[in-house]
Chain A
């Protein structure tokens, strides 16, 4: 089964893009073109009305991507993106900011992507817990819910038992702090449990959160939830209203969308910087061999709790913002299924990677929206997708180098292409290492 891939590799080895990367200007141009292409394809795809046409569209995209991968162009593109990652990032952000302008004044997809943004921040937080530290949390949505209710109760909602309206920044910080606090309370007794037990216990806590919120009517108004959360306002600038920018009238949600982009960027920055640091290495060490990590001087208890708290804080921030985006909170938005969706976004996208979490979040929101015809069977298809992906591509769509080796069963045929390591017994033709 692997042999055809190797054979194809050999066949395509002589194509021009396999042999050399090309001059710098070509690479930069390619980066810009690819980003613009992705934006265009996205806009076109989202505009497709009929579900069956959309499925055809997805199939076409899938085929195109596969061809690109197999012919080696994909590798070339990945390399150029790596070589010019700053430019790629700027291009990506520019495309994201440009998106609302392609919508002809309609706020529909902007609103969807605003939700994607919130979800992505939460997914990145879960990526810290699951992807980096390897702690499977099936009740993660509780932290999101804590943030949401904090945002609702302290954000001056019309129907709130707490008559308070604090400035947004304060509410966000409080939301993050409360969520982190809950994370520490939950984590302290439970983080020493082994993987699958931890999963069930966190699931339990997620359910406890939902039941508590549902029944503690004095604080949360129970099943009715808290509604009428006002739109954010920064001085005279109201987030909910339409605004005009560059001569284009943009729907209300665009403001939240732009805010989301900023938040997502911050989350990405925080995540990446933590990943590539002493703390990130310690988390990965804990994930790979907790006993050895402890023996190497890592206080595993503290670091696991830290991962949990940070993940919780990020979910709390996302939740707080979401309260304003959806203008209401209620217990049945924070169920087990939401936790699974978050786990799915992290795992299906590609565990431990930023692009993976973003892609996973996007797919999980956009595809159901597009496949409205399959509304009823959305959950069923989701379940099937989980099974299939875990069976056939457990490393996710955009695998991290590490995860690919962890999850795929070891196949001796798929060794590194680099040859034997430099310090091995030297053969007459010494490798360059």
Chain B
């Protein structure tokens, strides 16, 4: 996998005061969040805390009511596809692969925003088209290899086992050549063996120089992998810091388990 050749910045992602309301419900109530180069940041919190909504605000699936988000010191565009083109890639909490396309085709779709051949080139099969297709294909196979699905290229996405589908989603996200990867519960429903596999994968991603933000409930995953953890409760940041500190914080325990009666 190629290294993302981007100039290093202090803050890869900087979100300030992000607010998102749905009618009377404030899903995200003023969140400050930042990610630095080569960081793996964990985003945890009880269900309904607003984590996925926050992701949606970052990627443009939802429009925040308030707040500023900059990516590599530039404001993010509004539409999701433009956000992806700018460099944010994500996976989804409920896997959203293209079920009736093969694994390879799914990853190739990820290459869309990094290639330019249009209808004219497709019909005339000019040099640029051939070149881009070949390069995309190579890259896609590389990525399938990287996530551990070297031989699954021709499988329809919906026929893949659950764990492989999650890996495929990561491969597809990586195909967009992101500068920041957002993973939404990548190990949901996995057994410890599979979880360890995903942890190794995320480490490999970081080794390639890509910062990652992970929403997770699996504490082994979070504390074994993340450089920094942010705790979101009812739409607000409760605390953040190194995993060990967060783990020991009584307020965090209370948020998950409640106060003893």
Contact = CB atoms under 8 A, between A and B. Distances in A.
Direct contact of A and B (CB under 8 A): yes
Interface of A: 269-270, 273-274, 277-282, 284-285, 288-289, 291-300, 306, 310, 402, 405-406, 415-416, 421-424, 433
Contacts of A405: 100, 156, 158
Contact of B112 (A269, A296, A406, A416): A296
A280 B101 CA distance: 12
A433 B115 CA distance: 30
B92 A421 contact: no
B110 A306 contact: no
A292 B59 CA distance: 12
B156 A298 contact: no
B119 A310 contact: yes
A278 B133 contact: yes
B259 interface: no
Given A278-B122, A295-B59, A422-B151, A289 B96 contact: yes
B161 interface: yes
Interface in B82-101: 82, 84-85, 90, 92, 96-101
B122 A279 contact: yes
Interface in B115-174: 115, 117-119, 121-123, 125, 129, 132-133, 136, 148-152, 155-156, 158-161, 164, 172-173
Contacts of B172: 296
22 contacts: A270-B123, A273-B125, A274-B119, A274-B122, A277-B122, A281-B109, A291-B80, A292-B97, A295-B81, A296-B81, A296-B84, A296-B112, A296-B113, A297-B84, A297-B112, A297-B113, A297-B176, A298-B81, A299-B81, A405-B100, A415-B159, A421-B159
Contacts of A416: 159
B13 to A, nearest CB: 17
A295 B172 CA distance: 11
A114 B122 CA distance: 28
B85 A402 contact: no
A421 B101 CA distance: 16
Nearest to B80: A294
A280 B100 CA distance: 14
A298 B108 CA distance: 12
The 6 closest A-B pairs by CB, nearest first: A297-B113, A277-B122, A297-B84, A422-B151, A292-B96, A288-B98
A421 B161 contact: yes
A297 B110 contact: yes
A405 B161 CA distance: 17
Nearest to A297: B113
A278 B105 contact: no
B49 interface: no
B120 to A, nearest CB: 10
B98 A278 contact: no
B169 to A, nearest CB: 9
A419 to B, nearest CB: 11
A291 B115 CA distance: 20
Contacts of A423: 148-152, 161, 164
Interface of B: 59, 61, 79-82, 84-85, 90, 92, 96-101, 105, 108-115, 117-119, 121-123, 125, 129, 132-133, 136, 148-152, 155-156, 158-161, 164, 172-173, 176
In the complex, which of the residues B98, B115, B136, B173 has the most CB atoms of chain A within 10 Å of its own CB atom? B98
Contacts of A299: 79, 81-82
Given A296-B84, A297-B84, A281 B101 contact: yes
A97 to B, nearest CB: 24
Contacts of B151: 421-423, 433
A112 B151 CA distance: 49
B52 to A, nearest CB: 13
Contacts of A281: 101, 105, 108-109, 112
A273 B117 CA distance: 12
Contacts of B161: 421, 423-424
Contacts of B149: 423
A416 B121 CA distance: 35
A347 to B, nearest CB: 17
Contact of A282 (B112, B123, B158, B173): B112
A173 B79 CA distance: 34
A292 B92 contact: yes
Contacts of A424: 161, 164
B133 to A, nearest CB: 7
Nearest to A403: B100
A137 to B, nearest CB: 18
Contacts of B150: 422-423
B150 to A, nearest CB: 8
Contact of A422 (B90, B108, B123, B152): B152
Given A279-B119, A296-B176, A310-B119, A291 B96 contact: yes
A425 to B, nearest CB: 9
A424 B151 CA distance: 11
A101 B129 CA distance: 41
Contacts of A280: 122
Contact of A292 (B79, B98, B119, B129): B98
A127 B176 CA distance: 29
A283 to B, nearest CB: 10
A297 B116 CA distance: 12
A366 B133 CA distance: 40
Nearest to B167: A423
A294 B159 CA distance: 23
Nearest to A282: B112
B21 to A, nearest CB: 21
Contacts of A295: 59, 61, 80-81, 84, 90, 92, 96
A278 B123 contact: no
A293 B109 contact: yes
A278 B117 contact: yes
Contact of A278 (B82, B136, B148): B136
Contacts of A270: 123
Nearest to A266: B123
A251 to B, nearest CB: 34
A316 to B, nearest CB: 16
Contacts of A406: 100
Contacts of A279: 117-119, 122
B81 A300 contact: yes
